[in-house]
């Protein structure tokens, strides 16, 4: 039974070959060599017709046994090689290495300052209100004591949508909307976007304001001064000095602009002997406009003659620039993550 011996001899031979095989590719080559359609076992089986018929079944059975053994050997070796691959991959993987830190978002400085300022006024009893950015002439100008021929309506400053519809140039129209909707006493702050036809180093066509309005009985300039001083010290620190300069707004009378002692040089006018760039050595920086609500505004919203109140409006980017020492207004609009990421 020569063929049977040859067949059975294939098993130890395959075993040796498998021991040397170190990759799945080599394994596959061996498989083709032994078990393939033209492989060693197939070649032996091809000789079957030359045998006497009574000898053929024994050889066929031997071939099947050998095939089974070979398959089992392949499977075992394949499993071992795959396990080895995994182990090697795991050996390269260092579970003790620190992970990659995930990107962490942060709030935009404009948002941060807006939230901080509104939070301060909420603490003083103010509500937070809002109004539309597309506004009608009547609320943006007329009811604020700026009649049709008023120079503030100039096309140079205002972005008009139609003759009577425009992008609000300040948050003050929300004063009007609030008073039309509510009865005094009331106190609101109104954060929001405003638009002006202005674009240079220190002006952008859109920026943010926060409006304040307080209406009640016997409200005086002293209340305004006390409220704004408390606000300024909450944002810029308790040592900040505040001064009121006479000014003019059509919707307040009297009106004032508020300066604070420069938060960059501490009001000294110089930093390390160098002239302060922020206050230009004056020691003061302007931060907002304000005043006592003009009776003409109360009349426009149908409030009784006895009411009194104050209003103020501040530029959010301006406060943020002063508070964080940001020198360039454009930083707020460029969305450079290297800048924004510093406000975590
Ligand atoms: N609306 C004014 C401006 O945009 C600011 C202001 C608001 C002044 C309220 C006085 C009272 O310049």
Least confident of 92-106, 214-228, 296-310: 92-106
Percent above pLDDT 70 for the chain: 99
pLDDT of residue 49: 87
- Residue 336 phi/psi, 5-degree rounding, is -80, 120
pLDDT of residue 257: 97
**C-alpha closest to that of 188 among 130, 258, 255, 139:** 130
pLDDT of residue 307: 98
pLDDT of residue 45: 85
- The rounded mean pLDDT for the chain is 92
CA Rg value for the chain = 42
| pLDDT digits 0-9 by tens, 160-179 | 999 999 999 999 999 999 99
Instruction: Tell me the pairing of strands 127-128 and 186-195.
Output: parallel
For ligand 1, atom 2: residue with the closest CA:
313
**Cβ(289) – ligand 1 distance below 6 Å:** yes
| pLDDT digits 0-9 by tens, 41-67 | 888 888 888 888 888 888 888 889 989
Is the pLDDT at 155 greater than 70? The verdict is: no
- Contact partners, residue 117, CB within 8 Å, separation at least 6: 189, 191, 210, 231, 235, 314, 316, 319
**Cβ(195) – ligand 1 distance below 6 Å:** no
Percent above pLDDT 90 for the chain: 59
Fold match between domain 2-92 and domain 109-343: no
pLDDT of residue 1: 53
pTM of the model: 0.73
pLDDT of residue 287: 95
Is the pLDDT at 10 greater than 60? The verdict is: yes
CATH number belonging to the domain at 2-92, selected among 1.10.3470, 1.20.58, 1.10.1760, 3.40.50: 1.20.58
Q: Quick one: which atom of ligand 1 is closest to the CA of 172?
A: 1
**Cβ(290) – ligand 1 distance below 6 Å:** yes
| pLDDT digits 0-9 by tens, 307-332 | 999 999 999 999 999 999 888 899 99
- Residues 212/312, Cβ–Cβ less than 8 Å: yes
- Residue 51 phi/psi, 5-degree rounding, is -85, 160
| Ligand 1 centroid – CA 313 distance (Å) | 4
pLDDT of residue 62: 87
State the fold for domain 109-343: BirA Bifunctional Protein; domain 2 (3.30.930)
| pLDDT digits 0-9 by tens, 253-279 | 999 999 999 988 889 999 999 999 888
pLDDT tier at 22, thresholds 50, 70, 90:
confident
For ligand 1, atom 4: residue with the closest CA:
170
- Helical (H) or strand (E) element with 87: helix 56-92
Domain boundaries, the chain: 2-92, 109-343
């Amino acid at each position: 039974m020569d063929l049977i011996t040859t067949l059975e001899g294939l098993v130890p031979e395959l075993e040796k070959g498998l021991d040397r095989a170190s990759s799945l590719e080599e394994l596959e080559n061996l498989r083709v060599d032994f078990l393939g359609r033209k492989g060693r076992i197939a070649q032996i089986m091809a000789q079957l017709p030359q045998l006497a018929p009574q000898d053929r079944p024994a050889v066929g059975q031997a071939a099947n046994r050998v095939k089974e053994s070979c398959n089992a050997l392949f499977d075992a070796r394949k499993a071992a090689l795959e396990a080895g691959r995994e182990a090697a991959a795991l050996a390269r993987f260092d579970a003790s290495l620190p992970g990659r830190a995930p990107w962490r978002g942060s709030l935009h400085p404009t948002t941060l300052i807006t939230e901080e300022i509104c939070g301060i006024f909420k603490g003083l009893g103010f509500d937070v209100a809002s109004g539309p950015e597309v506004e009608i002439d009547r609320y943006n100008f007329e009811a604020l004591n700026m009649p049709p021929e008023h120079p503030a309506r100039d096309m140079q400053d205002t972005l008009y949508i139609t003759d009577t519809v425009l992008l609000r140039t300040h948050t003050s129209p929300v004063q009007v909307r609030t008073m039309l909707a509510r009865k005094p006493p009331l106190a609101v702050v109104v954060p929001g976007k405003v638009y002006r036809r202005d674009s240079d180093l220190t002006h952008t066509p859109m920026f943010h304001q926060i409006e304040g309005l307080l209406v009640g009985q016997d409200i005086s300039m002293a209340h305004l001064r006390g409220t704004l001083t408390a606000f300024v010290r909450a944002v810029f620190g308790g040592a900040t000095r505040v001064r009121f300069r006479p000014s003019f707004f059509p919707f307040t009378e009297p009106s004032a602009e508020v300066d604070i002692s420069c938060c960059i040089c501490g009001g000294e006018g110089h930093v390390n002997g160098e002239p302060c760039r922020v206050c230009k050595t004056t020691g003061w920086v302007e931060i907002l406009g304000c005043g006592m609500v003009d009776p003409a505004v109360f009349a426009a919203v149908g409030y009784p003659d006895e009411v009194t109140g104050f209003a103020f409006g501040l530029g959010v980017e301006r406060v943020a620039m002063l508070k964080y020492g940001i020198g360039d207004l454009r930083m707020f609009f460029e969305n450079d993550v290297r800048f924004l990421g510093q406000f975590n």
